[in-house]
Amino acid sequence: MFPVPFRKTKQADGRLQRAGIYRLSPFEPPRIPWPGMYELLFLVPNAGLVASQNPERQQLYLGQTVVMKRAAFDEAALWLAEPSPDGSDAGSPDYLRREILARAHPRAVGYTVSIQSPNPEEGVMIFPPQGSLSRRISGGLSDAPYYRMNPFELPYVPWVGTYQLSYRLDDGIAYLPPESERQIRIGTVFPRSLPKIVKQEPDKGVLPSQVTDASTRLHMLNLYCVLGSVAVPFSRRAGTWESSSVSSLA
């Protein structure tokens, strides 16, 4: 699709702009990487992208005069949108924004998603990859270990599928939402932007029943009774954090 969604692309006046459409007034010619037949879509308020009702006007041949090699797209920007099999908007950008924000803990500053790689030897893949630079939806690179909550940042993943959702709190603790809310479908993906393969372990919660130290376990159980579904990291001692772990807070 051109202009390329989520990217700054070169417009007819030579400027780089993050625009999702070419203007009709004043008219702006398209910029594409190859000549050929293209489907023609119009952005209509309250209706989204729609095609002409006249079948003869649904496609348009664009010739060499509007070709701008390497300026209209990059491979990492090629994306795939796969509708949900049940006909809902599950997996769409609007769905992801709505659901990820709605399920978040109030102190969440970011989130990660994880999925089993199609190659079993690679194990579970976490996005964004931890401890390395990775491509983001803006087209830039970042080493932040999560996607932002504010302003909201869509996930940048290579495969359509159901991912496990985890949040990062403002103190660095990883928060797992209730089990019924951990799965989320991602249907808009970037299949040509595979990360460097580094096998990583997904976030795992620590529950009171898993703690062997008696005094710490009692303290955790007391918190569990008072606050509801709470699990604090095993490394907590006398109100301080010795190391970051995973918290599942109500």
Q: How many CA atoms lie within 13 A of 186 on its CB side?
A: 23
Whole-angstrom distance, CA of residue 91 vs CA of residue 237: 41
165-184 pLDDT, tens digit per residue, is 999 999 999 999 999 999 99
Whole-angstrom distance, CA of residue 113 vs CA of residue 71: 31
Q: Tell me which of 91 and 70 has the higher pLDDT.
A: 91
Round to the nearest angstrom and report the end-to-end CA distance of the chain.
42
**pLDDT of residue 232 exceeding 60:** no
For residue 209 the two structure tokens come to: 């029943």
Query: Domain extents for the chain?
Result: 9-73, 84-189, 208-247
pLDDT of the residue at 108: 96
Q: Tell me which of 135 and 235 has the higher pLDDT.
A: 135
Residues 6+ apart with CB under 8 A from 66: 29, 30, 31, 32
Q: Are 97 and 154 in contact (CB under 8 A)?
A: yes
Q: What is the mean pLDDT of residues 72-83?
A: 70
Residues 6+ apart with CB under 8 A from 81: 92, 187, 188
pLDDT of the residue at 121: 84
